[in-house]
Structure 1
């Protein structure tokens, strides 16, 4: 439209120039006619002017028709090119949206693996896998079927992992600590005391008294050799020390439970059971009950075996790599 307006303005300007030129000629001819009194010359000049104006109008109309045809052709080409550009932009926008979905799903799968391996969070890993699968559903690409199949298998494996009630186990160990504080030590240890066989004061000479004291001293002092260090000498006076040691062992068991350290958990319970069997009265029913409960807690699963959920992450990474390679080959061919 702008080009057409410019062309019309240009043609009108030329017409106006021609009109002014013809008008000047007319004025000159009129002056000549008045001077020579030749009416015939004026008539011939007017006839030629009329003929020139008709030719000019015809040429102007032809030029306008040509400009309209060219403008219509140009507008058709522009509309076609604009349609192609819009289609291409739409396709690129759809591609970008899918790429975002693929990248988000890959990030969620990687996060699920980290959550399971580093924190042992089975529920958190399963939630991340389900979110990643929802992103792949939005991508709506049949080529992602192997990835979704791997996610389904991994979700089934996570559902099969046994649930561990760590809070319940912790409270159960705490309850046994309270019960142990009320248990009695064995009767033999409670009555242990150092006695002397000297019943009468020594008599006789100083040498006889010293010799007799030496013999009695050998009966009193017993020397034992041990290959390993003794845990602790347990006497009635050391009862509080024994109870505190056993309490610390059970607290160590609780710490191993929270840290999911199965080896330390079992070793701590074995140590607690050994102390109970060695230094507490196992003939009493309450002591046997505590020992049975600790042995039951030892069988509890502290850290279950976790499945491998990296297959879906690998499948999606392979899909993304193949997609980029295919796009690069298409770009090179074009």
Structure 2
């Protein structure tokens, strides 16, 4: 006995790797399945984002998979992470998705009823009603529906989206055989299990095969697919299966073929007949078309008796009245039909106008985005050039510092030679009886050490210690000639105590740490919606315009004019994404990082002005482009402002005047001798100093 789909030629448009199950199910019912994949399943464009989302799984309460393809797309990265984390419940949109999850070792906790595998049914599950403050990951394909994300966000969930695959046109589609079969009427039904497969089929066949495509019966798996079929212009109402599963598709085909759904508006009113079945079914349709037998009229043929003639006249009047009523009803029906046609035409025109406006807005948005990207690219190139110039200036400044250091070293060597000469002179003077010669020589040495540590080693603590010892030695000498130098020393010590040089290495490491936090900063969500309130102003004149168009068209046009400028449609989620492309967001973060790097380079070359300017640029950039309500943005702003408050060039006192004054007084002083110094004592003093 032949199956319910015997002789039916059915085109299967599923991807090559997923068509075998449906083909086998059709052939099991004696149908003739023709493979023509209109989709190619490819990896996502940004696999690193998928890996980041999967890495965040342990912090989620739920993970929702919208298709089997979404499951297969995470198999390898999930295995690399060590498998599915404990405590995260899994939701599958249908039976095929559940089987795919089980095949990679992921247990399924929830799924909608088998007779309704749609997002709407999934959202009806009790577990998805109270999701306030729950972290939910939705794994789907690129460009998929946003109903799940939007509804769960409205219910209070924190939704993350992960794209595990993308759909594309198959690169090697064999169009000629399918187009020839469609034109010859050799395909009875086309099955499409997603809107993407239907759209690709429409695009692949092109204008040449479009008419034969639209004349062929279509099967879809959701009301959204039926709406798309009507919009594309299919001549017959589509068959609507209860889901995308193989069994649901075959059941819909069998039910349609059997004519069981004749009274259901969403289904066809009978099977499409092949040549063989059409010939067999034709006799069943002929009897209603046969005219009634003439014998049925013969009983009324004899003439009525003469008294019946007035009744015949009355019947004629009633017939005329009935004719008038019928004509009026026909006229009213025609008028209503005309009004309906006019309203439908006006509606189609409005839809076309809206589509045109949307296309123009998208085109303008694309142009604005390209302009913004070009501007950011220009700013990034300028920042790189500035960084290169700053690096060159830093190298030149470093070379200058090295030269200065060399000069200082040379001066230090000469100073040490002079100091040795002074020590020898002090020893000679002490040998001759000068009691303070060696003490004053030590003071001179300590003053030179303090000057060296301040201006050569940048060591205020060492300089302070040397100055304090010099002050003690000079006080021990107790010579009135050095009273002014003692006062200068006291002032130098007080000033050096207040010197605090910045920790250059610590600040540089701090800036590097700030650069590492740039990627997590949130960009302003309304960065491209400037002066929104000025644009949202409804028209004050609400009168219906005059014209030749019907009143309902003019009223609809007036309503559209009132609404179009005050409605702004935006999707808000917990983790709000900016109204910009990922490329623009990348440039914003990269520019901020470059400004921080310029700040560090200015620090390393000891350029206080450039350091302050770079810090101000970072703070301004954060305020202009990044979300100030975000805690990370606020903290980074505070940290940069704290670094900007550091003084790279604090005041360092110059004790060279003290050193010079001491040397001048030392060169003019007279030796201080004891009144009873003998030659033996002088010789002993020299010997004792030598032994020290």
Q: TM-score, normalised by structure 2?
A: 0.25
The structure that is strand-richer by fraction is: 2
Give me the TM-score of the superposition, normalised by structure 1.
0.48
Determine which structure has more spread, i.e. the larger CA radius of gyration: 1
Higher relative CO (Cα under 8 Å, sequence separation at least 6) belongs to 1
